[in-house]
């Protein structure tokens, strides 16, 4: 495999020749290990720095949540006290499901029924390759046979729909 360099090296090299295995090995070396942060902090921003608390604000999830109160109890409490209602804008949001990610990235809404337009819900996902192969093989054996492609009728011209009669 030949890789063309964006900018030539100092010695004038413009292309590098790799075997396919060597090319894949060099690409794989660029992929970070799972669950490893790509940004490392040093000094007062380091996670174990004793001065970090003075500089970095507390994370939103560390703040205590207020218990939910009914509307009438909340109105009564507001009349009795002058304190503002609890701020819920900093509440942590739930991570996106894979269906939401598919919709965001590929604009595919798998929660929408293609027949009636109703709302579907995901009841499970299958990630085991052996089970996936078994299900697909079963579906293929039960699938109706495909019809052969239709042949174009020869020696006949299609009728002109806009001809005057």
- The residues, ordered by sequence, that sit 6+ positions from 135 with a Cβ below 8 Å of its Cβ are 126
Backbone φ and ψ for 129, nearest 5 degrees, come out as -60, -35
Instruction: Provide the pLDDT for residue 131.
Output: 92
Instruction: Provide the pLDDT for residue 71.
Output: 52
123 vs 11, residue with greater confidence: 11
With a cut of 70, say whether residue 6 has pLDDT above it.
yes
- The residues, ordered by sequence, that sit 6+ positions from 55 with a Cβ below 8 Å of its Cβ are 44, 45
- CA angle 25-30-31, nearest 5°? 100
Q: Model confidence over 129-163: pLDDT tens digits?
A: 899 889 888 887 776 667 777 766 656 666 666 66
Q: What is the mean pLDDT of residues 57-72?
A: 59
């Amino acid at each position: 495999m030949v890789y063309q360099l964006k900018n030539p090296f100092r010695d004038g090299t413009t292309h590098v020749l790799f075997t396919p295995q060597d090319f894949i090995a060099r690409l794989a070396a660029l992929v970070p290990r799972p669950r490893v942060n790509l940004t490392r902090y040093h000094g007062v921003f380091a996670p174990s720095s004793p001065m970090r608390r003075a500089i970095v604000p507390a994370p939103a999830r560390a703040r205590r949540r207020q218990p939910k109160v009914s509307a009438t109890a909340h109105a009564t409490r507001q009349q009795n006290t002058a304190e503002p209602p609890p701020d819920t804008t900093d509440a942590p949001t739930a991570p996106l499901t894979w269906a939401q990610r598919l919709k965001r990235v590929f604009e595919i809404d798998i929660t929408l029924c293609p027949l009636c337009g109703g709302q579907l819900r995901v009841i499970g996902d299958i990630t085991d390759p052996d089970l996936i192969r078994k299900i697909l093989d079963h579906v293929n054996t039960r699938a109706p046979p495909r019809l052969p492609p239709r042949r174009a009728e020869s020696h006949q011209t299609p009728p002109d729909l806009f001809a005057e009669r």
